[in-house]
Amino acid sequence: MTDLMEIEAEEYQDVGSLNHSIVQTRMAGFLLNDDRFTAMVELSLDVSQIDLSQFGVKAKEELKPDICLYPNSVGLRRRDVLRMPEMPLLAIEVVSPKQGIDDILAQFDAYFALEVKSCWLITPTLQIVTVYSQPDNFKTFDKMATEVIDDILDIRVPLQKVFS
């Protein structure tokens, strides 16, 4: 497969669906209300300092989580940043219909190697949020739970706010 065809195939997988877009916006909106953090969507992270192939990730120099969470000290800068060199505290991925969960979990492995504190996997179709504190340490919250709890970052999100 040519490089162009691979890029087009990857972009097609990343196309946001209706559910993906709604859930991403609601989650980012909820996190914006927490004054301890700055929430960002689709921010390019500079991961050139690590070989992503060891995790099975095809990207070479950047990863772009659906939502990132930084301390509130991170904000607008006079000169914009195309690829953020500092890693976020939290990386959130919302599964879209064409995405594979294994690919997302490989990205989580890379995020943890880059010292991201927590990763969330949101599955809109099943209305599930899985919070990872390490690659093999996670808790799953479904509609039987009232809220998503991230003990590492002390975050609580009412599930109804995400999936209503």
Most confident of 7-16, 95-104, 150-159: 150-159
pLDDT tens digits for 68-79? Answer: 999 998 888 888
Residue 7 pLDDT > 90, yes or no?
no
Contact 161, 31 (CB under 8 A): no
> What integer pLDDT is reported at residue 161 of this predicted model?
85
Residue 8 pLDDT > 70, yes or no?
no
CATH architecture, domain 3-163: Alpha-Beta Complex (3.90)
**% of the chain with per-residue pLDDT over 90:** 77
What is the residue-averaged pLDDT of the chain?
Answer: 90
> What integer pLDDT is reported at residue 77 of this predicted model?
83
Please provide the DSSP assignment of 67-109 as one string: EEEEETT----SS--SSB-SPPSEEEEE--TT--HHHHHHHHH
Residue 17 pLDDT > 70, yes or no?
yes
pLDDT tens digits for 102-153? Answer: 999 999 999 999 999 999 999 999 999 999 999 999 999 998 999 999 999 9
> What integer pLDDT is reported at residue 12 of this predicted model?
41
pLDDT tens digits for 28-53? Answer: 999 999 999 999 999 999 999 999 99
> What integer pLDDT is reported at residue 137 of this predicted model?
97
Q: Helix count (H) and strand count (E) of the chain?
A: 4, 10
Give the pLDDT band of residue 14 (cuts 50, 70, 90): low
Domain boundaries, the chain: 3-163
> What integer pLDDT is reported at residue 16 of this predicted model?
73
Give CA–CA dist 17/1, Å, rounded. Answer: 26
